[in-house]
Amino acid sequence: MSGNAFGKLFTVTTWGESHGPAVGVVIDGCPPRIPLNEAVIQSMLDRRRPGGSVASTRRKEADRARILSGVFENMTTGTPIAIMIDNTDADSSAYRPFADVFRPGHGDISYQAKYGIRDWRGGGRASARETAARVAAGAVAARVLEREHISVRAYTVELGGIRADKRDFRAVDENRFFCPDPVAAEAMERRVREIKKQGDSLGGIVEILATGVPAGLGEPVFDKLDAELARALMSIGAVKGVEIGAGFESAAMLGSRHNDSISPEGFQSNNAGGILAGISNGDEIRVRAAVKPIPSIEKPQQTIDEDGTPRTLSVRGRHDISAIPRINVVCEAMVCLVLADHLLRQKAIQS
Amino acid sequence: MSGNAFGKLFTVTTWGESHGPAVGVVIDGCPPRIPLNEAVIQSMLDRRRPGGSVASTRRKEADRARILSGVFENMTTGTPIAIMIDNTDADSSAYRPFADVFRPGHGDISYQAKYGIRDWRGGGRASARETAARVAAGAVAARVLEREHISVRAYTVELGGIRADKRDFRAVDENRFFCPDPVAAEAMERRVREIKKQGDSLGGIVEILATGVPAGLGEPVFDKLDAELARALMSIGAVKGVEIGAGFESAAMLGSRHNDSISPEGFQSNNAGGILAGISNGDEIRVRAAVKPIPSIEKPQQTIDEDGTPRTLSVRGRHDISAIPRINVVCEAMVCLVLADHLLRQKAIQS
Amino acid sequence: MSGNAFGKLFTVTTWGESHGPAVGVVIDGCPPRIPLNEAVIQSMLDRRRPGGSVASTRRKEADRARILSGVFENMTTGTPIAIMIDNTDADSSAYRPFADVFRPGHGDISYQAKYGIRDWRGGGRASARETAARVAAGAVAARVLEREHISVRAYTVELGGIRADKRDFRAVDENRFFCPDPVAAEAMERRVREIKKQGDSLGGIVEILATGVPAGLGEPVFDKLDAELARALMSIGAVKGVEIGAGFESAAMLGSRHNDSISPEGFQSNNAGGILAGISNGDEIRVRAAVKPIPSIEKPQQTIDEDGTPRTLSVRGRHDISAIPRINVVCEAMVCLVLADHLLRQKAIQS
Amino acid sequence: MSGNAFGKLFTVTTWGESHGPAVGVVIDGCPPRIPLNEAVIQSMLDRRRPGGSVASTRRKEADRARILSGVFENMTTGTPIAIMIDNTDADSSAYRPFADVFRPGHGDISYQAKYGIRDWRGGGRASARETAARVAAGAVAARVLEREHISVRAYTVELGGIRADKRDFRAVDENRFFCPDPVAAEAMERRVREIKKQGDSLGGIVEILATGVPAGLGEPVFDKLDAELARALMSIGAVKGVEIGAGFESAAMLGSRHNDSISPEGFQSNNAGGILAGISNGDEIRVRAAVKPIPSIEKPQQTIDEDGTPRTLSVRGRHDISAIPRINVVCEAMVCLVLADHLLRQKAIQS
């Protein structure tokens, strides 16, 4: 429970470094008799794969998930589900020049301060590679949710300053940014190509929508559903902000406008984002995560090495221009983990 | 651990309803031999007191904190510190008309869905009254941090759409909004008076600054320091968004601008907000919380009662116009709790 | 979670020192809509009261339990239940002479080593007084179990070397040792009077029987139901050993005799004590706890003070001759807490 | 955290079934910069290997431990240490006849009741094979303890009713039962051969001794060091009882005899077993675990199948006659895990 585990009843523990032999996850607390096989996990994992977008790295990660325990004859047994993904295309040599340098925007300097040692190969534990394990776990959580008719979807609503004005969900899978606004998607494409030439990188905003969530999930006070979602999303390396429903816009709204009126047919608006007092209210849950630009850029940057000597750094190599869209499925996985956990927690107190 | 506890090593559990006999907190894990008495707790609690601002309710809460255990001869002993605050001015009769109505923007409807029962008097457990217990715990955490020369301060950077452009910390205690911009504070005052007349309410943004935090606090992956801060702040009822450092603005920045360059003298900027890869980097930690407008307003609102019958609701009574500035010290307390917990966690692995 | 909390879903946190203003407990995770009032708690607490037996101290503890939260109109609401018991008859002056002495068999020396400070008044946090809070919580757990037709009962099977040969449960409430063997109970009475004259003290064995426990409670591997029961009982200060079913006698049995045969009517014996591979099998759960003699005795003992100077100690005052029978209801409470917690945990994974 | 994880700060999560592809463990919370390689783990694992004793099965388990993460250049990095052990010699066909039968003394019937599904191959998750993962984790914990000069050793003090009267630790590694009494060891050997011929099995008692433990480890109330040790040992499948220091004999002792007198040189006896009020007192920690006879025996037993039909069962195959001595190193590992966890917990509160 030292930071690598998540969830109270549906508990996942991830392990692995970017350039070690593998990354993996142990899921403890998955209910028994849920249909599960490697293909289900693989299909969610494939959405995280680089190369699906011009914004993504050219590294070819096989990302082949193997289930090592907890599943018998294609059904979960209630015992821990261990999933392992080998690191097959890990080339550490490219990182050798940075072995003693603190790359700006990376955890090199903070890991060194914390532990006095760090695996510098590809960011080690702080690498985005770790999120492959989260996605594998999220795929299992999604199966648990599916049984209760809950579905979760992440999509891009901003990239490089370009906002999606529409929410046309049919469009999401028809562009490489998983953007629900086809016109914005085209502008994003142009923006990415332009920035790539400059050797720079871009940030953006991902929105995650959960539908079918029954009222009553979430615990009072500290484990409010929105608090748990905030933690879950902010635990993704590149995320710098999280908001629910009207989010930061709430700050400038009047109470009379922010309050969601209730009629016999349901809520008349959803500024709450589907959560009241930390507990789901039966409406759609809508959260957004602000994603910072990828810190590894070709443009030269000023930094220091472990001895405090100034260094100029230019990171070439196989890096994404933006964490979006690969990060989307990671956000989706994290929301699935939170909802699956709270679904089980709520079952525990129901009579 | 069903939602009313927070922290792994410095663990606080709060209890109590708005109109029950008392609210309180048990702190389990406070290190021994830290000087502590009721006055220290009281002085932090007093900053949460209503009446300090035109934006606040007229309810007179004595909020007298009593230490019931864990302190011996004005020193902590290492055993649980129980603190209790009596509810002395709780008048439930004002809530009787809403006993079977779901107030918009409140947790009435979600609590009813979750538990099938709720203490409707003053919002029960979902009342902001619960935060008194958090502040009491935060005061203890602040003493733990003080010993390590860490200090935390919350202040108002936006209220009713009016932004503070300056960060003049000497001004914070000189206006009733704890705003570091005296000119903005005056505009806030006017805005509050105007909205009060309309029977409406306001939201805003609180910023929390932690200085003196050593590099190395925070755990990798799920218990990243920013993830824990996000959860902590989002667990406050009125908060709808949290951001760290450049936050949502990161989404539109280029990597070359967002990355904080490092020189032998330290970081050249602080878009990271003092946290890299989830671990403090030694710089100031800066987070912001978006606060929604108070849902209890005099303006009539549409809602339903427990039978689904439409009702029109106008909430008169002793309600704040805005959760700001009373919420500020709650935000401060939550940040103190997170930092104290991670300080202890880091000590555990140091040799 | 620093040692003063117990249970994963039905979580109790106790607080309080022997001679502070009060002891108490917060129960987080109790399901909603369970009938509860102070009388229910009081009646379990009264069974822990001193004076019910010649083996017990003459200290008059009022032990009046007050419910401060989590109950509304005599029903649990799902929010934390805080219960407080004032320390009304606490006379610290009797402990003044031992303020700087380490009493043999007590935690004085280990608390001092751990914390560098200790509340020496009546044993402080290490006092048996703390168990009043456990019993209050156990009373709530018992109500949760009652709804599922599970009942738990503790009784004395050995005291001062005298064993109960019979299990006549009607006799349990008819003697002051809660012993199911009336003849043994009389011998115990004589033994206690004799030892009392000698200024010495006695140990014994408590057996706890849980009936109506459905098959399926307990988690594999580390949270086996018997492991949790062992921890629960060994966490009571005076307990030095715990065994399940045939317990230590299992060590000398052959497999053919130890294995409980199964017929269509059920198990043919119960050497397992109702638990197989850590999971309840539907049979009665039977555990025993070995209780050491009370360490506070009038007979002179050799020890040292905080400076390491040898001291001879004779503890006069209001001390029990044996922790039995007052400890029985504490054992019962701990078993209730374990079962209630695992009942909720099992509900979480059931579909 | 659903039963497959152990420890608060030094947290281990095990996974894997007897006849799945592998078993493994993730250690989260190991301090950084502790020298570690696979050989260290292997040497502890080898002590669990079958074939070292006539009491053990002939199954050839390679038990080759691989470190997959958390170690860089032979040092721990502070990130999760994943260790995997392939199941190379798993022959499931021998278990096919028992696929729908509940073997007496096994968890078949309770797992089926709990989950409604079970991996019947070799006991699945309930198999003793799972303990290989615990031993691997224990080897890492032992390195953490070694740095603080704490050492832990398990040895056999009873087998098949034959008790070791001596504690000659030089003898422990010179007989196949790890028994500190050479004469008793010879009698054990004869007893095992005799029972093997009868197609029956034996139980026994393991004692674990921890030396060098500083005073101050263990938390008050529920996480007492003895409570944690009791849980740890009782979580091993075959263990039916646990006692500390004088243990069950305490029940018949007088207080004047049980109390350990203290002189300036230290404790004059150790009936407490090194723990007072749940906190280590600086003396040797001594605990014992009662081990039931192996339930898989050749002698015919009565049971039922999943339909409730009576069946007669005779388990042939590669089964041990006694869990001792293979279980000894598992007991040792569990004690190491408890001590390592509490060592870190104590560091957290020290200033």
Whether D111 has its CB under 8 Å from any CB of chain C: the answer is yes
Q: What is the 3-class SS of chain C, one letter each residue?
A: CCCCEECCCCEEEEEECCCCCEEEEEEECCCCCCECCHHHHHHHHHCCCCCCCCCCCCCCCCCCEEECCCEECCEECCCCEEEEEECCCCCHHHHHHHCCECCCCCCHHHHHHHHCCCCCHHHHHHCHHHHHHHHHHHHHHHHHHHCCCCEEEEEEEEECCEECCCCCHHHHHHCCCCCCCHHHHHHHHHHHHHHHHHCCCECEEEEEEEECCCCCCCCCHHHCHHHHHHHHHHCCCCEEEEEECCHHHHHHCEHHHHCCCEECCEECCCCCCCEECCEECCCCEEEEEEECCCCCCCCCEEEEECCCCEEEECCCCCCCCECCCHHHHHHHHHHHHHHHHHHHHHHHHCC
> What's the CA gap between B149 and D323, in Å, rounded?
54
pLDDT at position C55, please?
58
Enumerate the residues of chain C whose CB falls inside 8 A of the CB of residue A9.
Answer: 9, 345, 348-349
- Confidence band for C158, pLDDT divided at 50, 70 and 90: very high
Q: Chain A: give the shortest CA distance to residue B73, in Å.
A: 32
* Amino acid at position B176, single letter: R
The alpha-carbon radius of gyration of chain A (Å, integer) is 21
> What's the CA gap between B130 and B137, in Å, rounded?
12
The share of chain C scoring above pLDDT 90, in percent, equals: 88
Q: Give me the mean pLDDT over the D46-55 stretch.
A: 68
Enumerate the residues of chain D whose CB falls inside 8 A of the CB of residue C290.
Answer: 243, 247-248, 250-251
Q: Chain C: give the shortest CA distance to residue A241, in Å.
A: 29
pLDDT at position C59, please?
52
Mean pLDDT (chain C) is: 94
For the stretch A48-92, pLDDT in tens is: 876 555 555 555 556 899 999 999 999 999 999 999 999 986 678
Whether A328 has its CB under 8 Å from any CB of chain B: the answer is no
**Among B343, C195, B230, which residue's Cα sits nearest to residue D348?**
B343
Enumerate the residues of chain C whose CB falls inside 8 A of the CB of residue B2.
Answer: 9, 11, 28-29
Whether the per-residue pLDDT at B61 is higher than 60: the answer is: no
Enumerate the residues of chain D whose CB falls inside 8 A of the CB of residue A77.
Answer: 115, 117-119, 124-125
More confident residue, C53 or D132: D132
Q: Measured at the alpha carbon of residue A125, what is the angle toward residues A316 and D346, in degrees to the nearest 5?
A: 145
Nearest to C32 among B20, B28, B115 (CB): B115
For the stretch B153-171, pLDDT in tens is: 999 999 999 999 999 999 9
Whether C112 has its CB under 8 Å from any CB of chain A: the answer is no
Alpha-carbon distance values, D218 to B67, D28, D183, D221 (Å): 25, 20, 37, 9
**Are the Cβ atoms of B349 and D220 closer than 8 angstroms?**
no
More confident residue, D96 or B38: B38
For the stretch D64-80, pLDDT in tens is: 999 999 999 999 999 99
Mutate to test the interface with C, among D256, D280, D334 (most CBs of C within 10 A): D256
Instruction: Return the minimum-mean-pLDDT range out of B242-256, C170-184, D231-245, D307-321.
Output: D307-321
> What's the CA gap between D172 and D192, in Å, rounded?
18
> What's the CA gap between A210 and A274, in Å, rounded?
9
- Within 10 angstroms of residue B307's Cβ, the number of other Cβ atoms is 8
List subunits contacting chain B, requiring 3 or more Cβ pairs under 8 Å: A, C, D
Mean pLDDT (chain D) is: 94
Residues lower than pLDDT 50 in chain A: none
**Among D243, A266, C10, which residue's Cα sits nearest to residue B304?**
A266
**Are the Cβ atoms of A347 and C345 closer than 8 angstroms?**
no
Q: Chain B: give the shortest CA distance to residue A91, in Å.
A: 22
Residue C110's CATH number: 3.60.150.10
**Are the Cβ atoms of A79 and C220 closer than 8 angstroms?**
yes
**Among A106, A126, A291, which residue's Cα sits nearest to residue B262?**
A106
**Among C212, C128, C344, which residue's Cα sits nearest to residue A8?**
C344
**Are the Cβ atoms of C349 and A344 closer than 8 angstroms?**
yes
- A351, HSE (Cβ side, Cα atoms, 13 Å): 12
**Are the Cβ atoms of C351 and A31 closer than 8 angstroms?**
yes
Mean pLDDT (chain B) is: 94
Complete DSSP assignment for A136-185: HHHHHHHHHHHTTT-EEEEEEEEETTEEP----GGGGGGSTT--S-HHHH
| Strand spans (E) along chain A | 5-6, 11-16, 22-28, 65-67, 71-72, 75-76, 81-86, 151-159, 162-163, 204-211, 239-244, 262-263, 266-267, 275-276, 279-280, 285-291, 301-304, 310-313
pLDDT at position D253, please?
98
> What's the CA gap between D309 and B224, in Å, rounded?
55
> What's the CA gap between A204 and A163, in Å, rounded?
9
How would you class B305 by CB atoms within 10 Å of its CB: exposed for 0-12, middle for 13-18, buried for 19 or more? middle
Whether C78 has its CB under 8 Å from any CB of chain A: the answer is yes
| Residue appearing with tokens 């290490």 | C126
More confident residue, C261 or D314: C261
> Contact at 8 Å (CB) between B147 and D351?
yes
Q: Chain C: give the shortest CA distance to residue B85, in Å.
A: 11
The alpha-carbon radius of gyration of chain C (Å, integer) is 21
Q: Chain C: give the shortest CA distance to residue B263, in Å.
A: 41
pLDDT at position D56, please?
58
**Are the Cβ atoms of A107 and B262 closer than 8 angstroms?**
no
Instruction: Return the minimum-mean-pLDDT range out of A51-65, D14-28, D44-58, D237-251.
Output: A51-65
pLDDT at position C315, please?
81
> What's the CA gap between B121 and A145, in Å, rounded?
35
Residues 6+ apart with CB under 8 A from B73: none
Q: Give me the mean pLDDT over the B125-138 stretch.
A: 96
Instruction: Return the minimum-mean-pLDDT range out of B255-259, C28-32, C48-52, D269-273.
Output: C48-52
Complete DSSP assignment for B333-348: HHHHHHHHHHHHHHHH
Q: Chain C: give the shortest CA distance to residue A9, in Å.
A: 8
pLDDT at position D308, please?
95
Q: Measured at the alpha carbon of residue C292, what is the angle toward residues C290 and C293, in degrees to the nearest 5?
A: 140
- Confidence band for B320, pLDDT divided at 50, 70 and 90: confident
Our count of domains for chain D comes to 1
**Among B218, B230, B24, B213, which residue's Cα sits nearest to residue B137?**
B24
Pairing of strands C81-86, C22-28: antiparallel
pLDDT at position A122, please?
85
For the stretch B78-103, pLDDT in tens is: 999 999 999 986 678 888 888 899 99
Domain that holds residue B105: 5-350
**Are the Cβ atoms of D347 and B345 closer than 8 angstroms?**
no
Question: Residues in chain B, how many?
Answer: 351
C16-37 burial, b if ≥16 CB within 10 A, otherwise e? bbbbbbbbbbbbbbbbbebebe
Nearest to C2 among B9, B21, B82 (CB): B9
Q: Chain A: give the shortest CA distance to residue C168, in Å.
A: 35
pLDDT at position A91, please?
74
Enumerate the residues of chain C whose CB falls inside 8 A of the CB of residue D201.
Answer: 254-256
Q: Give me the mean pLDDT over the D144-152 stretch.
A: 98
Enumerate the residues of chain B whose CB falls inside 8 A of the CB of residue A240.
Answer: 226, 243-248, 250, 273
Token readout for D138 is 């224990």
**Are the Cβ atoms of B220 and A126 closer than 8 angstroms?**
yes
**Are the Cβ atoms of D31 and B347 closer than 8 angstroms?**
no
How would you class A37 by CB atoms within 10 Å of its CB: exposed for 0-12, middle for 13-18, buried for 19 or more? exposed
Nearest to A349 among C8, C32, C349 (CB): C32
Sheet of A22-28: strand order equals A5-6, A11-16, A22-28, A81-86, A65-67
pLDDT at position A351, please?
75
pLDDT at position C2, please?
79
Token readout for D213 is 């433990």
**Are the Cβ atoms of A2 and D9 closer than 8 angstroms?**
yes
Mutate to test the interface with A, among B250, B309, B337 (most CBs of A within 10 A): B250
- pTM (2 d.p.): 0.97
